[in-house]
Amino acid sequence: MGNRAVVTAPDKNLALYLHWNGGCDTVELLLKRRALQGYRPPNQDCYGWARMAQVVGNFFEGSLSVGIDRYRNLGDQGDNGVYFIDGWKIVDRYATAYDEGWNAVGLKLIDPLRRAARVRLR
């Protein structure tokens, strides 16, 4: 197991998979640093996703810390859920919702902007 998370845009096209360090503090910091460096945001185009994957991979090192794929292939990997970003800010965070038989029935909003509201780009 890891400390997994998925980061995607509202269009749910491409997504970044974090196997380690998928907590809100780390994701917020990574997004804020990319914004301060002037990188184009991931939801702008595929080059934004490529740069984000490169920077995250370089930061965490190793060969299994980060992945990029279509959101439909990743979905919610557990642990920290799915972060939806707009530009370089977290706008929503969801986790898989289960019924009483532990069948996936959709997504539920978690931690609604509580943490993301603290991040201010200067």
Cβ neighbours for 103, distance < 8 A, ≥ 6 positions apart? none
CA distance 95 to 65: 20
In this predicted model, what pLDDT tens digit does every residue of 19-57 receive, in sequence order? 888 899 889 988 888 888 888 888 888 888 888 888 888
The pair of three-digit structure tokens given for residue 54, joined into one six-digit string: 């490169």
The pair of three-digit structure tokens given for residue 43, joined into one six-digit string: 């939801």
By residue count, the chain amounts to 122
- Residues linked to residue 89 through DSSP beta bridges, in sequence order: 86
Largest Cα–Cα distance in the chain?
Answer: 46
In this predicted model, what pLDDT tens digit does every residue of 58-69 receive, in sequence order? 887 777 778 899
Name the pTM for this structure: 0.82
CA distance 20 to 13: 22
